[in-house]
Structure 1
């Protein structure tokens, strides 16, 4: 009886802590926190969202890079079938003009033949047939019509959206690991309740054995207790099977070694939070809002197609001797491009962006409504868990008193052993209900914290 009352006292203390848990805020078990962090590092969907965020950040850098000057080095060799020269009439004209200029320079009348021995220069080729070129080009966008500015903003909001989606996925991973860890704790708690019942059966076995020796009980009573013990062994086997399964699930979620997980002995400690009345915007909604913002800047970027763009262009030739007579050695210029009409492509593209934005706005409204509903449900589950704890408290008291009374009645030959075993089974069930009540409390608090966007791990 002393053993029974001692165990019952521990259970009642747990119930008392449960009813007042909100005044004793507790953090998650450090081992559980470590498992969650390992699970977040292992989860593939979280990694994909983070990679998507990196892609968006890269798009932002690429957009900014539009304003950086682009310098290109060029080199080429070309061989024509022949030199490009002036036609014969033009060459004769150039030669005659050269003679006239020489005569004028030395003071000879223009109709006097040019003295022999005066050197003349042949007209240069327009382009030699062997062409070797080496040059550098500069292209520098000076003004993009705000396309770069809006593109950068769109990429920033897209990256933020991916980061929020990653956080939302992390919440899901954390919730799954917490639930599995708590299920493992519940399995261990059930083993504890089974051990308590097993101890009671051992006490009852000793009593019945002694009673048989004194002629106060029959061997049938002892066989009934032995049957109850065999049934208890089956429950212990189920415990081992459930433990193995949950260890496997935790291994899949976290990547932790099974041998290490098998050594864990989690307990259903009560969790609370002093800030449970606070509410923050969920990451899922933040992600949708960031996507909508990205689409707004994308729309502005599309509209900027009709704003003039300005760019600078430069060119310099390193090899002059192979240039044609018409090729410049270098040039620098500033140009503008103004798209006046593009066949309604910009207008239709912008319309598609706006339709997509409206779709996300509708998703934000729906998600907000669903979050509000989940908060109400979680609060109701939270209150129900507290109420259920009080009910379990009374059930345990009643089961204990019934068992003690039936045991005394059996000792006085007032009832059969079946009634005692049934009372013991009821006490065992009450103990299971207590552990399950603690499990449900943790589920309710965790769900409420997640629904309110304040789940910390």
Structure 2
């Protein structure tokens, strides 16, 4: 490819833009699949989901505080004897019964009680065999705004955990892309070595012919053999690096080894517009939600002084075993007003307010660190772009130098050592170019993450 055309292509890649950020559709399908599987396998994300479920249950628990609570109960009790009135009271009740009968049949007050008229036994206050079955209802009608504030606090806590989970997912995305690119770099390194091996094979044929014609010495062949051995060693290192990265990817994503073995990542840099505006980072959103949660929790604790209103009801299913003093059912409404609790509620509220102030300080500090991170990422990306341009020029120069040196060697104007040195420079420059692509992709991803534009 013409040198000028290469530079134009690189400049086009570096100056084009993805718009407002890097989205899933800008990545290869295989990389998207790896990211999805890595998220599904990540233990921290799973734990965050469980924490979110707990927060949801807390919200439901707070909301259900205002629902009536219904209890069924049953019991059997046997006393040593019936509970009855004392003798004097029983005699009084019997005498009263006689007077009422006399009055009913027209017998004078002072006359003796007529014989043969039965009297009703005085029932005991409580029989000794007691069988009970009842239903009770407790219903909080007004909680003094504690329930509403508890619901709001738990909702914001859930939102904070949800955003924190997105932060964990972003870290998974960053690591998966980096591992994917490292695999691409290892594969490209092996490809560079293979191309260098082909150069050496051609050079070996020429040297063998030159030796036969007395134009080269066996030492030249030995030098070529040593160069081949060095390349073989580097090729083995590149293959081992591939195996290691694949092993890490398999452990991190859970993807099938067959799928990972067939990956061929492309290291072309992402096209990124450095002037695009930043979005509010999830770190800030999570802290703000946590701050709101503490605010409503503080209100809930402070509202402990507001009167609470509740309803209570009771109904007995078995009436026969009730004592003479027990009702069959009752319903009541009552209030509870905490006038003074030793400043406990106020101190709890003040403690929660301080927690909210701590979150505010974390927000301010995080905003400063994010801005610093954006600046550092922009500088890294600019440096990586310049390095890629410079390295491409080095590749062109090294290839031109090799071609010239090779021609000189074939014309007997230089040695095979200089040819091998020139070939080594080509190898180094090509590898450095692939590494510069890797560094540029990494710097671009870090800038998008710093600006809150890494969206998946």
TM-score bracket, normalised by the shorter chain, equals: over 0.9
Query: Of 14, 22, 29, which aligns to 2:17?
Result: 22
Q: 1:205 to 1:231 in 2, by over 3 A?
A: same
Shift, 1:274, TM fit: 6.1
Q: 1:396 to 1:446 in 2, by over 3 A?
A: same
> CA offsets per residue over residues 257-288 of structure 1, 9 Å max, x none?
22321222222133235697131122222111
Instruction: Confirm whether residue 342 of structure 1 aligns to residue 337 of structure 2.
Output: no
Shift, 1:394, TM fit: 1.9
Deviating more after overlay: 175-184 vs 196-205: 196-205
> CA offsets per residue over residues 293-332 of structure 1, 9 Å max, x none?
1111111111111111111111111111110000001111
Residues in 1 aligned to 2:128 and 2:280: alpha-carbon distance in whole angstroms: 73
Q: Which residue of 2 aligns with 1:35?
A: 34
Q: 1:209 to 1:12 in 2, by over 3 A?
A: farther
Residues in 2 aligned to 1:51 and 1:272: alpha-carbon distance in whole angstroms: 37
Q: What does 1:128-139 correspond to in 2, within 5 Å?
A: 128-139=127-138
Shift, 1:187, TM fit: 0.7
Q: Which residue of 2 aligns with 1:331?
A: 330
Q: Is the partner of 2:169 in helix, strand or coil?
A: helix
Q: Which residue of 2 aligns with 1:104?
A: 103
Residues in 1 aligned to 2:377 and 2:316: alpha-carbon distance in whole angstroms: 74
Q: What does 1:282-431 correspond to in 2, within 5 Å?
A: 282-431=281-430
Q: Which runs of 4+ in 1 moved over 6 A?
A: 8-11, 23-26
Residues in 2 aligned to 1:263 and 1:402: alpha-carbon distance in whole angstroms: 36
Q: Which residue of 2 aligns with 1:257?
A: 256
Deviating more after overlay: 24-33 vs 338-347: 24-33
Q: What does 1:218-237 correspond to in 2, within 5 Å?
A: 218-237=217-236
> Does the Cα contact within 8 Å between 1:19 and 1:390 map onto a contact in 2?
no
Q: Is the partner of 1:22 in helix, strand or coil?
A: coil
Residues in 2 aligned to 1:171 and 1:88: alpha-carbon distance in whole angstroms: 86
> Does the Cα contact within 8 Å between 2:7 and 2:389 map onto a contact in 1?
no
> CA offsets per residue over residues 134-153 of structure 1, 9 Å max, x none?
11111111111111101111
> Does the Cα contact within 8 Å between 2:249 and 2:255 map onto a contact in 1?
yes
Q: State the TM-score, normalized to the length of structure 1.
A: 0.95
Q: RMSD of the TM alignment (CA)? A: 1.9
> CA offsets per residue over residues 374-422 of structure 1, 9 Å max, x none?
1111111111111112211221222122112211222222222111111
Gaps of at least 5 residues in structure 2 are: none
Q: Which residue of 2 aligns with 1:51?
A: 50
Residues in 2 aligned to 1:376 and 1:298: alpha-carbon distance in whole angstroms: 37
Matched length: 452
> Does the Cα contact within 8 Å between 2:190 and 2:239 map onto a contact in 1?
no
Q: Is the partner of 1:392 in helix, strand or coil?
A: helix
Q: 1:13 to 1:204 in 2, by over 3 A?
A: farther
> Does the Cα contact within 8 Å between 2:39 and 2:172 map onto a contact in 1?
yes
Residues in 1 aligned to 2:343 and 2:14: alpha-carbon distance in whole angstroms: 67
> Does the Cα contact within 8 Å between 1:19 and 1:389 map onto a contact in 2?
no
Shift, 1:22, TM fit: 3.0
> CA offsets per residue over residues 175-208 of structure 1, 9 Å max, x none?
1111000000011111121122112112211222
Residues in 2 aligned to 1:144 and 1:316: alpha-carbon distance in whole angstroms: 25
> Does the Cα contact within 8 Å between 2:15 and 2:272 map onto a contact in 1?
no
Q: 1:195 to 1:15 in 2, by over 3 A?
A: farther
Residues in 2 aligned to 1:308 and 1:452: alpha-carbon distance in whole angstroms: 49
Q: Which residue of 2 aligns with 1:155?
A: 154
> CA offsets per residue over residues 67-100 of structure 1, 9 Å max, x none?
1111111111111111111110111111111222
Deviating more after overlay: 91-100 vs 34-43: 91-100
Shift, 1:14, TM fit: 6.1
> CA offsets per residue over residues 14-47 of structure 1, 9 Å max, x none?
6355434437987111101100000000000000
Q: Which residue of 2 aligns with 1:182?
A: 181
Shift, 1:248, TM fit: 0.5
> Does the Cα contact within 8 Å between 1:18 and 1:386 map onto a contact in 2?
no
> Does the Cα contact within 8 Å between 2:132 and 2:316 map onto a contact in 1?
yes
Q: Which residue of 1 aligns with 2:87?
A: 88
Residues in 1 aligned to 2:339 and 2:387: alpha-carbon distance in whole angstroms: 72
Q: Which residue of 1 aligns with 2:70?
A: 71
> Does the Cα contact within 8 Å between 1:130 and 1:322 map onto a contact in 2?
yes
Deviating more after overlay: 300-309 vs 10-19: 10-19
Residues in 1 aligned to 2:277 and 2:230: alpha-carbon distance in whole angstroms: 48
Deviating more after overlay: 369-378 vs 36-45: 369-378
Q: 1:389 to 1:259 in 2, by over 3 A?
A: same
